[in-house]
Chain A
Amino acid sequence: MHLPNLFLADLPPDAPMGPALVRDACLAVKRNRSHWLALRKTQELVELLAFNAERWLTPDFGFRQQALKQGPAETGFGAGTLARGLDAFFRAVTVESLNALLTQELGDARRLDEFSAPAGELRQGRMALARGPDLLVHVAAGNLPSSTLSSLLLGILTRSAQFVKLPRNGTVVPRLFAHSLADLEPKLGSCLELATWSGGTHDLEAALLSEADCVTVQGTDETVDSLRTRCPRTCRLLAYGHRLSFGFVSADQLSTYMARKVASRAAADITAWNQMGCLSPHVIYVEEHGATNPEGFADLLAQCLEEREQNEPRGEIPVETAAHLASRRSLHELRGARHAAAHSEAATMPRGAFFDAPLGGTRVWASTHSTAWTVVYESDPRFQTSCLNRFIYVKPCRDVADVLRQAEVVRGQVSTVGIATTESRLPELALQLAHWGVPRICPLGRMQEPPIGWRHDGRPALADLITWTDLETA
């Protein structure tokens, strides 16, 4: 499939790029927006976005096929992993879910079209109109394409012209998505611009920031801080910095029957996007005193990750990343061997019947002849950040309060906690997590499947784009 040169990002990498070109592109999308996009009705856009999402879910859709063909080489995700991630994203985009999002964020799905209000506001003699930014700029992160697609989608709902600055290793999927929208409606395509240049090209970024009404940035804390200092005062900045996530399994989910299912769900979360996202778990905390102990759970998890590797291989990673993984693995293996030796010297009691494992300490399960997956069980309950690419820690805990004490070091940086527990325990656990500051709690197995209305880092992503006009009639 040959993509026409609709966007700056479609041009060859050595095509000249200057501040004047960037500025002209911004003016062009703003102009096109005022002539067409600004005049659309919300429902029209909802239906267009939902229809496009449906197309992306069909196997013979040209743009999808192209994404799965070219995406792996650029992103480093295998075709299977990429397909799973894209499916999870597009499945969440339906007419119902988009309308639910609008109602959730704006109080009323008509707010972008006309002065309107839910009943409570009307009774107060008030209505409101919501307006999105004229030009919405996104500085996209390198790791997952789904977050860029989500930003684009929200900006279309707010009827904004959009300019996405893509990282060099993250152009294929966003470009194909933008092309698929242009394919459906060329006038919508003309309100979008995608471009790529190396980070830190300050004159290009300055041109972009000077035209923007609102900027979203996803990335490392350094990227966010740098942009914050250069963003004009008149421009609204929505920043999403570094976040990480973890899982929690309560003791009542650890019967012989349940434990394997839960391990399988955890494996789904660990392998989604190769664990490279903010929503991916670094650690799975497992309550002690279940029928399966945390080390036994780690063993089940290793089996599930090996199965996943057969069906959805992680794929190759750069040698320096593999080197770091291998170094961590060998240090943990050595710790495990040291601990096992120390315990076997001291042991007086017979081994349990189930598995002849060391009592506590460290234990490593790993894919053979590759760094494809690694499970490290550590009896040390302190939170440990993972080196990712399917490298997971399993740690024991007494209860959720214990976990939160051990995770104090990352408090404020946590995005999602994936939980496996009973319906009756969930409210109490969720409350504890919420008071500690967790912005998203979901079932284990669904960590990388946030609904379209999820509050990103605890913020309402769509509502944060809006400027309101209040109309008081009484």
Chain B
Amino acid sequence: MSTELHPFAGRVREFITRTTSLPVSPELHAEFESLALELHHLQQRHNPVVRDGNADRPKGGQTQLLTEVAAIPTAAFKEFEVTCIPESERTREFHSSGTTGQRPSRHFHHGDSLELYDTAAWAGFQRRWPDLRPPEIFGSLTPSADLAPHSSLVHMFELWAARLKIRSSLFWGENGPDGWTVPTQRVVESISALQNPILLVGTAFNFVHLLDDLEHRGCRLPLPAGSWVVETGGYKGRSRNVPREDLHQAIATRLGVLPIRIITEYGMSELSSQAYSTVTANGQPSARLQFPPWARARIVSPESGREVDIGEVGLVQILDLANVWSAFAIQTEDLARRQEDGFELVGRALRAEPRGCSLQSAGPI
């Protein structure tokens, strides 16, 4: 079974490494599509959920068109085991950090898939920051992987710190009854003592907690010049929803970081690759997100299922070659506006019916 996937993963790894710093081109698109279709056929053989999800497609899933591939909804990761990895070979599980009380999404991994994850995540980081001078300090508002073993985000942060060879990395976050909390006092003390630039990372709700606390205390916490901030979106009901622009403005004001050095990362436990916010042609920070050449976002109309025109809003569907051992085509519940070369998040699928009416799970089959 895995005898087919292992060499394919090697080819994906080669593609990632080769294209890390390359600009997108029609040739890269074509290579991506060819690999994606091959992966699709492989996954139909090895992942029962992908096989069943494509059973009623034209040509029974033997399509030669990426547009005919059935994307697996992220909600399916809560109910089913969306994986090619047999139970006995699984060594790690990443969970989504949804509302407590509901079963989270589960994305299963083993040594090989994690290696591919790490390759994709690190290449993505390098692509975004090709000329980064590694900062002295790495600080995360999230807990460490010891305290959050199922968080793909924390795993990625620890990967960055390791690959950047940053000797001093701090994970301040703690686990609370309602999820992660930020111990502001300790963060303030650590950062106030800094002389050299820091790469400060966290979820959007981490930053909201920190900024609200700082406002409450009436103080600022300026980071040393040359610092970077990466926020990974996601409020998940843990804090008030702050529009991206306002969040970045608050970070700029209270943490003294130039807007151009505040980056949004977009990823999820169901993926292995990440998208990052970009910079406009004249050097201004932009909310436009881009995936690297081994992943692609398609913005699809919820009505027709087809890709929307540029400028229109639709559901974000992601094709991620690094998801070799799970499902490479994922359907999210995020809404975005399609742009010339990327997409901009505008919200989430919204229920019209009253709250508190979650979908009953039929349970795994």
Contacts and interface: CB of A to CB of B under 8 A. Distances in A.
Contacts, number: 108
Nearest to B55: A337
Contacts of A387: 351-353
B352 A327 contact: no
B51 interface: yes
Contact of B53 (A317, A334, A388): A334
Nearest to A367: B303
Contact of B351 (A324, A369, A371, A384): A324
Nearest to A341: B52
A382 interface: yes
B213 interface: no
A396 to B, nearest CB: 14
Contact of B302 (A220, A326, A342): A326
Contact of B76 (A242, A318, A334): A334
A364 B357 CA distance: 20
Interface in B70-97: 71-73, 75-76, 79-80
25 contacts: A221-B354, A320-B335, A320-B349, A320-B350, A321-B350, A324-B333, A324-B351, A324-B352, A326-B315, A330-B71, A331-B359, A338-B48, A338-B49, A338-B52, A338-B80, A339-B365, A340-B52, A341-B48, A341-B51, A361-B362, A369-B304, A370-B304, A380-B360, A388-B352, A388-B353
Interface centre among A220, A327, A370 (most CB of B within 10 A): A327
Interface in A315-361: 317-328, 330-331, 333-335, 337-342, 361
Interface of A: 220-221, 242, 276, 317-328, 330-331, 333-335, 337-342, 361-362, 369-371, 378, 380, 382, 384-389
A330 B331 contact: yes
Contacts of B348: 320, 323
Contacts of B313: 319
Closest 5 CB pairs of A and B: A323-B349, A385-B357, A326-B302, A322-B302, A320-B350
A321 B352 contact: yes
Nearest to A276: B352
B53 A337 contact: yes
B56 interface: yes
B350 A378 contact: no
Most buried by B among A276, A333, A337, A378: A337
Interface in B307-332: 313-315, 331
Contacts of B80: 334, 338
Q: How big is the B interface, by class? A: 35 or more
Interface in B326-345: 331, 333, 335
Given A319-B335, A341-B48, A370-B303, A386 B353 contact: yes
A221 B355 CA distance: 10
Contacts of B360: 380, 382, 384
A327 B48 contact: no
Which secondary structure characterizes the binding site on chain B?
loop
Given A337-B56, A369-B304, A378-B362, 13 more contacts: A318-B350, A320-B347, A323-B315, A323-B349, A327-B75, A327-B349, A328-B359, A330-B71, A334-B76, A337-B55, A341-B52, A369-B305, A386-B353
A386 B359 CA distance: 9
Given A324-B352, A334-B53, A389-B352, A319 B73 contact: no
A322 to B, nearest CB: 4
Nearest to B72: A334
A342 B350 contact: no
A326 B75 CA distance: 12
A106 B359 CA distance: 44
A384 to B, nearest CB: 5
Nearest to A316: B303
Contacts of A331: 73, 75-76, 79, 359
A323 B79 contact: no
A321 B351 CA distance: 6
Contacts of A318: 350
Contacts of B72: 334
A424 to B, nearest CB: 34
Contacts of A339: 362, 365
